[in-house]
Structure 1
Amino acid sequence: MNKLKGLIYEHGKTYESVSHVIGINRDTFTRRIQSNGLDFKISEIYKMAEYIPLSQEDIQNVFFK
């Protein structure tokens, strides 16, 4: 999840804005990142990919390793 954290900040986004886009509160988003992203739904991953943006390679490396 360190890669996701880096990509969020690299693209000038915040946990608050990303959590809003995917429809969860910031605390829930933070907990999911701390749990290595295991609790993110596919629909949430795709929303993040559009918003941040994330490449297919980023998605693979962050969520499906």
Structure 2
Amino acid sequence: MVNINKLRGAVVEHGFTMESLANSIGMDRATLYRKIVNNGETFTLKEVDGIVKALSLTPDEGMRIFFAQNVA
């Protein structure tokens, strides 16, 4: 399960907006927002990989965001 709060924090921390992140991974802004509203349940592995690379996340950060077991 995706930790949406950590994802949003990482986006801001790395100087992105949701729109600029969507552009950098080749996704429509509305599609990214829809996936986030659905708690990230429909992210594909390719999209996750693109987000991790765009935000320059460490493997550990990526795991904590995209493969969280306990989400507040």
Same fold (TM over 0.5): yes
Q: Provide the rounded CA distance (Å) in 1 between the counterparts of 2:63 and 2:19.
A: 23
* Alpha-carbon contact 1:8-1:14 (below 8 Å) kept: yes
Count of matched residue pairs: 65
CA RMSD of aligned residues (A): 1.1
Structure 1 unpaired stretches of 5+ = none
Higher relative contact order (CA 8 A, sep 6+): 2
Give 1:12's aligned residue.
15
Question: Normalization by structure 2: what TM-score?
Answer: 0.80
Runs of 4+ in 1 over 2 A off after TM superposition: none
Structure 2 unpaired stretches of 5+ = none
